[in-house]
A and B are shown apart, each in its own frame.
Chain A
């Protein structure tokens, strides 16, 4: 079966998705999220600490407002509970994991079939042209600049080859094996968490 590298990555990601969504173990989800972040980095995506830290802190803090489980300590009369902290951290880690998994899945820009695929490909073609043309346009006044940009884009002949936008190179055996390994790691961590092999924090 012939499938492009980009589409194989998309399929691999879809197989990995339930493993992190179904994970209930906090250590398990932390390991899964870390693995996915490394995976996204390996495929050229960037990691920014601050946005992830903000997600982790804001989601965890929001859950602290609903006390749940063992009382760890109090800030004034406000109780900090282990259950709420763990639930918030787990949800935040799932979100972070999904964000990076999603980034990994769309590296190489997968192609979609049919009319939808055609229009998305056209959209990305125009997008590439906008980013190129915009650099050469005088930005003030802004409405005039947007007019120039839109008129320029309309003059472009879109009938040419747009296939370079996606990685249409077919996946080889090595790609399949690496993909299988990633799926195995994510599901392995899910089962380790589910069967109590990984430590339970709360």
Chain B
């Protein structure tokens, strides 16, 4: 079990910004993929967040999550629309769940499990928001396909992250610091 309070030097702004930019790059790749509704996301941009689980201390991790939300909203131009609420709710809930699982239960849960838990937390929060902001009670009708899609994409992302953490020289170097 990893300790929640890692003793690290002062906040590494450049490193966090790099991971934030990486999330931005992946979200622009994702933006090019057509989606039925604007707030549906595959979650590619979660890869840097998942990488950050093993590399950042809690404060740095929070800054990275904020950068991802702000950066995505600025790039896609959704910063001042409802969509940013979906992004905020989804990202914060999934980051929180993933962070707790990684630090408290990674002995029993793999990155695939962490990814699935994060995606489910994100999707549930987004469904609740769409119930109150857009669709009303009809939001529950889109819940099954929404959750199934989230499950499928999070499994793929989890497998990829696991492979990245195992094979990446860059990641191994950073994790050993």
- Residues on A lying within 8 angstroms of B by beta carbon are 13-14, 17, 40, 45, 51, 54-55, 58-59, 62-63, 65-66, 91, 95, 98-106, 109, 115, 118-120, 122-127, 129-131, 134, 143, 146-147, 150-151, 153-154, 158
Contact = CB atoms under 8 A, between A and B. Distances in A.
A147 B134 contact: no
A63 B136 contact: yes
B147 interface: no
Contacts of B74: 106, 109, 120
Residue of B21, B22, B78, B142 with most chain A CB atoms under a 10 A cut-off: B21
Contacts of A66: 136-138
A106 B138 contact: no
B24 A99 contact: no
Given A62-B139, A123-B24, A55 B37 contact: yes
Given A65-B138, A120-B67, A143-B167, A106 B79 contact: yes
Contacts of A153: 18, 21
A170 B63 CA distance: 30
Interface string B25-55: 1001000000011100000000000000000
27 contacts: A14-B80, A40-B77, A59-B135, A62-B142, A63-B138, A95-B83, A99-B38, A102-B77, A102-B81, A102-B83, A103-B77, A104-B77, A106-B74, A106-B77, A118-B13, A123-B67, A126-B21, A127-B21, A130-B25, A143-B163, A143-B164, A147-B170, A150-B18, A151-B170, A153-B21, A154-B18, A158-B14
A124 B77 contact: no
Given A65-B141, A147-B168, A147-B170, A119 B21 contact: no
A165 to B, nearest CB: 11
Per DSSP, chain A at the interface is helix
Nearest to B130: A62
B110 to A, nearest CB: 18
A99 B138 CA distance: 22
Per DSSP, chain B at the interface is helix
Given A13-B80, A99-B77, A106-B77, A58 B36 contact: yes
Interface of B: 13-14, 16-18, 20-22, 24-25, 28, 36-38, 63, 67, 70-71, 73-74, 77-84, 134-139, 141-142, 163-164, 167-170
A119 to B, nearest CB: 5
A95 B135 contact: no
A127 B24 contact: yes
A119 B11 CA distance: 11
Residue of B14, B80, B164, B168 with most chain A CB atoms under a 10 A cut-off: B80
B82 A95 contact: yes
A189 to B, nearest CB: 18
A153 B16 CA distance: 12
B169 A147 contact: yes
Given A119-B63, A123-B24, A150-B22, 10 more contacts: A55-B37, A62-B134, A62-B141, A63-B136, A95-B134, A103-B77, A109-B74, A120-B70, A130-B25, A153-B18
Contacts of A134: 25
Nearest to B169: A147
A102 B25 contact: no
Contacts of B20: 119, 123, 126
